[in-house]
């Protein structure tokens, strides 16, 4: 797919970028290499990115243009899941790890639209993402929103954070949201151990919401992942199979229809097969039922 056909940022939008060099230096952000958060922002046609991120996105999508509709589908899937958990499962607390730059409607906006008292903690390891979240992702008066810096690779630090427990009540169920973020943990990071730690730390009645890119849908996904790593990005992407992704839900009771391609998870309306074929992510929701520890 030629670069000129990609819905990436135009020059006028680039001039409107809110992330300036001075802010990056203050936050200790390296703008000399692509950032996974900023690259994802490019795929969503956002404005918090640099030319180096746009070049990396162009290289990746020249091999796999499916990354663009996949990014949009991932956001839409998260909205569907949050709506379901708030409206049908009576969930009022969310822990969202690996949030990326704000892109309305964000999780708290979706949840608080139906339940204004919903409380949300946003977590990201990127200091610039957290700074944006603290400035822009704010709660209504009935609920609460906190944004904090922490790393998925250190789940105990997340679970033991005073900021987390000031906002969320761990005597009540929490929905842990990991949308297209475990992809950035390599096998040497031991992601299954980190997920087990997080699952074990959730109160009974909680939910795990997880989506993940996969090469099951096309071998070009592996090629794209290799191109992704070759851009010297801060976090390379790991493709995993359906079986590997399903393992992240070990010990949980899966909500129907289980771990499926995102458009097949309780769609509001069916999508044409051509559009479904462009979405390279699986997603699922697991329930930590009462009595499971």
pLDDT 10s digits, 150-199: 999 999 999 999 999 999 999 999 999 999 999 999 999 999 999 999 99
Tell me, what's the pLDDT at 32? 82
Residue 10 scores a pLDDT above 70: no
- What pLDDT is recorded for position 39? 96
Q: What is the DSSP string of 201-247?
A: HSPTT-EEEEEEE-STT-THHHHHHHHHHHTT-SS------HHHHHG
Cα separation, 203 vs 215, whole angstroms? 33
pLDDT at 290: 76
For residue 7, the model assigns a pLDDT of 36
pLDDT in tens, 126-164: 999 999 999 999 999 999 999 999 999 999 999 999 999
Spatial separation of the C-alpha atoms in residues 103 and 45, rounded to whole Å? 10
Instruction: Look up tokens 């789940």; give the residue.
Output: 155
pLDDT above 80 (res 11): no
Residues 28-77 have pLDDT tens digits of: 566 789 999 999 999 999 999 999 999 999 999 999 999 999 999 999 99
Q: What pLDDT, on a 0 to 100 scale, did the predictor assign at position 2?
A: 37
- Mean residue pLDDT of the chain comes to 90
pLDDT at 31: 73
Whole-number pLDDT of residue 17: 43
Kindly indicate the confidence band of residue 267, based on its pLDDT and cuts at 50, 70 and 90: very high
- Looking at the chain, the whole-number percentage of residues with pLDDT higher than 90 is 85
205 by Cβ neighbours in 10 Å (0-12 / 13-18 / 19+) ranks as middle
Cα–chain center distance at 4: 27
11-27 average pLDDT score: 47
> What average pLDDT does this structure show over 191-211?
97
């Amino acid at each position: 797919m030629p670069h000129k056909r990609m819905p990436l940022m135009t020059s006028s939008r680039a001039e409107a970028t809110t992330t300036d060099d001075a802010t990056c230096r203050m936050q200790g952000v390296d703008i000399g290499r692509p950032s996974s958060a900023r690259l994802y922002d490019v795929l969503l046609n956002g404005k918090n990115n640099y030319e180096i991120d746009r070049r990396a996105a162009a290289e990746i999508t020249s091999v796999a243009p499916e990354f663009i509709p996949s990014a949009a589908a991932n956001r839409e899937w998260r909205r569907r899941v949050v709506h379901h958990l708030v409206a049908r499962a009576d969930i009022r607390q969310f822990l969202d790890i690996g949030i990326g730059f704000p892109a309305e409607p964000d999780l708290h906006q979706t949840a608080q639209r139906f339940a204004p008292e919903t409380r949300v903690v946003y977590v990201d390891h990127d200091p610039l993402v957290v700074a944006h979240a603290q400035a822009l992702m704010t709660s209504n008066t009935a609920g609460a929103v906190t944004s904090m810096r922490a790393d998925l690779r250190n789940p105990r630090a997340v679970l033991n954070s005073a900021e987390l427990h000031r906002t969320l009540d761990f005597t009540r169920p929490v929905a842990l949201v990991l949308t297209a973020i475990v992809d950035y943990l390599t096998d040497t990071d031991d992601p299954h151990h980190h997920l087990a730690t997080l699952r074990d730390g959730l109160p009974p009645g909680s939910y795990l919401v997880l989506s993940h890119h996969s090469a099951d849908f096309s071998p070009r996904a592996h090629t794209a992942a290799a191109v992704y790593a070759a851009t010297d990005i801060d976090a390379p992407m790991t493709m995993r199979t359906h079986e590997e992704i399903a393992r992240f839900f070990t010990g949980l009771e899966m909500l129907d229809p289980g771990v499926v391609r995102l458009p097949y998870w309780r769609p509001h309306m069916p999508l044409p097969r051509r559009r479904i074929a462009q979405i390279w992510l699986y997603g699922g929701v697991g329930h930590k039922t009462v009595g499971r520890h």
